[in-house]
Structures are given as C-alpha cells and as structure tokens.
Amino acid sequence: MTDVQKLKQEFLEYLEIEKGRSLKTVENYDRYLTRFFGQADIKKPLDITDEAIRAYRLWLNRQSSGQTGQNAKKAVRGLGGDTLKKNTQNYYLIALRGFLKYLARRGIPSLAPERIELAKAPARELDLMTEVELGRLLKAPEGNDEKALRDRAILALLFSTGLRVSELCSLSRDSIDLSRDEFSVRGKGEKVRLVFLSDEARQALKNYLDNRKDLGEAMFTSMSKINQKTEQLTPRSVERIIKKYAVKAGIPKKVTPHTLRHSFATDLLQNGADIRSVQMMLGHANVSTTQIYTHVTDKHLRDVHKKFHGKKS
C-alpha cells in the first residue's frame, strides 16, 4: 500500500468513526479520492499540487455522466455531450478538500485545503407540487385494507415531518409515541433532531398500526412476505409507492419522497415560519442548504409586485 493509499484508508476510517459519517458517504469519498489519485498519478501527499488539481478539474469538466467509471481515464473528450453537472464535480472536490484538511490536522505537508475552490453551480430548481396536487396525492391511497392504511400513513408522515426517505424507512414501531406530537429521529451524520406530527399524520399512523397483523419491529413493512418473514420497506420501495400514487392522482411531474420534503419546507415558509426553524426541522447542517426554498416562498415580494407593477400614476 503506497503512502497516500494508507493515508486515504486512515482518512476514511476517521470519517466513519470520529465524524460519524454513514457507510454510503465513506464509500463515495473512497470512490472520489481513488479516481483523483489514479487520474492525477498521486503517490504521496506532496504530489497534490495546484497544477495537479487544475488538470484534474479540467478532466472532470470534460467527462460525460457515463464516463466516470473504470474506463474514465481513457475517455477524455472535448466539449459537448451530457457532461458532468457542476454539483457532481463539486462532490469530487469536497472529498479531496476533506482529505487535505485531514492531512493538515495531522501535520502532514500537502496542498492547503483552501486552495480548492468549488465550481459555481446553477441555482437548484425545485419541481414543487401545487396545493391541489398535494391534496390529491395524500388522498390517493383508497380503502381500509392494511396496504392502503400503510401508504396513507407514509404519505402523511412524510408531509408532516419532512423526513428523508432513509429516515422514514429506519423507523421502528417504538420510535413514535402516538400520545405525543413529537419524536426524535437520527439523521445524516448521526445527528438527532425533533420532528413533529400533525393531527392527520397521527391519526393515519394509528389507523395503520391498529390494523397491523404482524409483530415485526419495523414501522413500515412490505405486504409481500418472503419466507413468512416481515420485510422492512426499503427507500426504493417507498419511491415506487409514491410514484404509483402520483400517477393515480394525475400529477404530471416527477414526484419522489424528497418532493414531499420540499412541500413540507415550502408550506412552513409560506405560512410564516423563519428559515432557521425550518433548517432545524429539516436537519440541514447549513442554512444555505435551506435557502433553496426562499425564492419560491417570499410572499412579500409577490405582494409588492401586485401592488405596484403596471399601475398608472
């Protein structure tokens, strides 16, 4: 194992143990750094130079979204095609900057992490549902069988709490006390936060749990039993469930669990909640992440436009 490879492994272990990052995040960082070390021929920390970073960024910017696999090094191309998005390029750079910060923390000479500037990415666009579409989606699961009750509870809980789909799937039956209107959830970076139940979500959960026939520990389970075992729903399964009901509700746009998280945030902001409170309820580490919602929720600007635009003096 080369010097830089050993340091990379120690960095990944540091992310997992000291920083509490998820295994998926650690895997992604491993992939991003491995790609950089291979492309830039990095053998030791001092090989990471401004010129190596510049050449790597140019290479990244010329890759198509399908050319960053094992054969990516052979696929350097010119302009055109479906190139990597700036946000995706930044993931590579953030991993590298984190590695350099780790080296600096250990006193190992290398490039200063602040030498790496992230690419300027376009503002994120939110494909939000209208209030009418949201209402249709929440009512789409019809009937009183266990599956319909489960699906209504999933939709109501996502909109009531703003949970990430991974957080929803990790819930157990004893995660939520229905006599209370709040419960704790462990989110990204193992950070715990409070989320809150609406009356509608509490009732939907109660109806579902009262009709559960199995004794499984998971809050949401698959209706198809494999070997008579109760299977916990996966994020992919929840995505398929929501897609099915969006089609049934006649919603033409793509609807995902994250769309309901967006609806949760914009509903709060449109009704007067402050950005910091919404940040805490979403579990965002930085308020800048939450600010993607403000441009679609600023009622004051809309009111000013209506009051003053196109008026004759």
Phi and psi angles of residue 163, each rounded to the nearest 5 degrees, phi first: -60, 145
Catalogue the active-site residues.
164, 188, 258, 261, 284, 293
Nearest Cα to 222, choosing from 212, 209, 237?
A: 237
In terms of DSSP H, where are the helices of 218-256? Answer: 235-248
Work out the end-to-end distance of the chain between its first and last CA atoms, rounded to an integer number of angstroms: 77
CA distance 36 to 308: 53
Beta bridge partners of 232: 221
CA angle 98, 100, 103 (to 5 degrees): 115
Question: Which two structure tokens, joined as six digits, stand for 40?
Answer: 């830039």
Q: What is the chain's Cα-based Rg?
A: 23
